[in-house]
Chain A
């Protein structure tokens, strides 16, 4: 069983479209995150939810809207996609045990053309 699963793995779309990326974790964790890794490989935190509540919202365009229907799911919806949104988006989750760290999904490679 995949601990943190993201769908789709690859997403190619045209500028101006709206798309969603889904994330699910089966670890029973309370906290989930979205990270963006750009072409230069920098990993940047975007959002964090704790038990369905938004607790971290970094400087991200409001075209990006996270949604957490329950603590096992954190989806990312992107409106009016732009070329600069092309990146790999990683979902992650974290439990309360400090020593176990974060568990990341395998990423969604978004390409906007």
Chain B
């Protein structure tokens, strides 16, 4: 599995756009990029997944440059409830038997009013 590097922590204010960048220089051709969110005292929650270019859903956008060596999770207009740990994961299709999500340290996002 490709190793990922992301900031340990980030601070933001309500209403701002937050971009969390993840580096994955050794990403393999068949690897996908997946982001999870974990609130205190809860299990991680799937946010978004992409392979290349841009993916958008109702929660976030994921930007992946052509070389795929990094990716950026974009959270528009954050609120206090977006305070959480955000994990970037890179690996093959995680729906294959015998695979499992391997979590790194994640980025702790703190949103203030």
Chain A residues within an 8 Å CB radius of B105? 41-42
Knowing A98-B49, A99-B49 touch, does A43 contact B44 (C-beta < 8 A)? yes
Asked if B13 is an interface residue, CB under 8 A from chain A, the answer is no
Cβ proximity bits B30-64 to A, threshold 8 Å, 1 near / 0 not: 00101010000111111001000000000000000
Q: Assess the A107–B42 pair: CB atoms within 8 A.
A: yes
A interface SS class: strand
We find that the number of chain A residues with CB closer than 8 angstroms to chain B is 29
Whether A97 sits at the interface, judged by CB under 8 Å, is yes
> How many of chain B's residues have a CB under 8 angstroms from any CB in A?
23
Report whether A56 and B100 are in contact in the complex, using a CB–CB cutoff of 8 Å.
yes
A104 (CB) vs chain B CBs: closest residue: B43
Q: Which residues of A contact B101 (CB under 8 A)?
A: 45, 102
Other contacts beyond A92-B43, A107-B43: 6, CB < 8 A: A43-B44, A48-B98, A55-B98, A101-B94, A102-B44, A103-B46
Q: Which 10 A/B pairs are nearest by Cβ-Cβ distance?
A: A104-B43, A101-B46, A43-B103, A98-B95, A45-B100, A90-B43, A50-B97, A98-B93, A55-B98, A104-B44
Binding site for B on A (CB under 8 A): 4, 31, 33, 35, 41-45, 48, 50, 55-56, 90, 92, 94-107
Contact surface of B with A, Cβ cutoff 8 Å: 32, 34, 36, 41-46, 49, 85, 87, 93-95, 97-98, 100-103, 105-106
